[in-house]
Amino acid sequence: MSPTQPRILLIYTGGTIGMIENPVTRALEPFDFTHLIDNVPKMKMLNYRIDNISFEPPIDSSDMNPQHWVDITRAIEQNYDKYDGFVVLHGTDTMAYTASALSFMLENLRKPVIITGSQLPIGEVRTDGEENLITAVQIAAARTSDGEPMVQEVAILFEDYLWRGNRATKRSADNFNAFKSHNYPELAKIGLGINFHEEALMRHSHSPHTPLKSYCNLNTSVMVIDLFPGLRPDILRHQLATPGVKGIVLKTYGAGNAPTAQWFTEAVKEAVERGVVVLNVTQCVNGSVSRRYAAGNALACAGAISGGDMTTEAALTKLMFLFGAGYTPRRVSELLGVSLRGEITLHP
């Protein structure tokens, strides 16, 4: 191996990219890593050192859970010094949740963690998996002119774009461009070359020698409540009083608006007074929570915390991470408004 040959660790969790059709049910099922890699002979042309770790068995990402995120985090932490970059192969369904969770679980990350997958299995003639895999590996190996890793964060590579992981959302079940970050620009545009947007990439102010710190405690006492006209007071109260719940992502209308009826604001206020953190994020894919309308202001007065322009995936996993780190509800509420990993846009 030449001293400059990039060293990449592939972590295969499953997903469509490695699936094959069950001959009886005709449904796609996860399959092993050897099948996947045998279908990408072009990988050898890269002349990188590529090792792999595989979930046993590989899973459909609908089965992804926080223990899997811990397994991925540990795999990266244990191999951090041995590799230049990491590529996680993952199903698209929960990829944005995994990307968000990993971004919080890996602090002081100075190397690329690139998550990718595909819409068509790697064995299919028109697969998008081969291109996604090869591009992800190239991005994981990319360096700046100073020789530093080009990407120093968790990112999702899919088809034409590289997105910040905790800003991306799955937007299509059948388009090859399956992901989009609606509130943050792309980190790179993929065309004839890989055109990095350096001004959008995470750059750390701390010393490059600050060690990676991983957080493997996630608290899953969280839930999402999606508002809709007709939501009944008894049902909302029941949800807000779910035993053991510590944090709730409340998905509201437009710029963070909710019913102004007294029963609604009182129900939220009571939950907040019981110590539940209620985090207000918008149902819109683009834009931010604000106090522009009385309907949003009332919710803020009831004690709901603004989630700004965070995605639901980032909001939920940030709550899991902050409660898992042992912070009090008051401190969790403060940190929700701080950009920990570039997940929220802060306005002066």
Judged by DSSP in three states, 10 sits in strand
Of the pair 117, 256, the CB lying nearest ligand ASP is at 117
Element housing 29 (H / E): strand 28-29
Judged by DSSP in three states, 269 sits in helix
Instruction: Work out how close the CB of 40 gets to ligand ASP at its nearest, in angstroms, rounded to a whole number.
Output: 16
Rounded CA gap, 22 and 160, in Å?
30
Q: Catalytic: which of 16, 252, 265, 312?
A: 16
What token pair was written down for 322? 């902050």
Rounded CA gap, 273 and 291, in Å?
21
Q: Note the residues at the interface with ligand ASP (CB under 6 A).
A: 14-16, 60-62, 91-93, 117, 119
Rounded CA gap, 69 and 82, in Å?
20
34 Cβ partners below 8 Å, 6+ apart? none
Residue 226: alpha-carbon gap to chain centroid: 20
- Give the count of alpha carbons within 13 A of 206, CB side only: 9
Instruction: Work out how close the CB of 93 gets to ligand ASP at its nearest, in angstroms, rounded to a whole number.
Output: 3
List, as one string, the DSSP characters of 182-211: SSS--SEEESSSEEE-TTTS---SS-TTSP
Instruction: Work out how close the CB of 216 gets to ligand ASP at its nearest, in angstroms, rounded to a whole number.
Output: 23
Residue type, 39: N
Is 242 a residue of the active site? no
The span from the first CA to the last CA of the chain, in angstroms, equals: 50
Judged by DSSP in three states, 83 sits in coil
Of the pair 176, 215, the CB lying nearest ligand ASP is at 176
Closest CA to 95 of 219, 8, 201, 179: 179
Rounded CA gap, 275 and 174, in Å?
41
Please list, residue by residue across 159-181, b when 16 or more beta carbons sit within 10 angstroms of its beta carbon and e when fewer do.
bebbbbbbbbbbeeeeeeebbbb
Instruction: Work out how close the CB of 121 gets to ligand ASP at its nearest, in angstroms, rounded to a whole number.
Output: 9
As to burial, measured by CB atoms within 10 angstroms (0-12 exposed, 13-18 middle, 19+ buried), residue 306 is: buried
Number of other residues whose CB lies within 10 A of the CB of residue 224:
15
The catalytic residues are 16
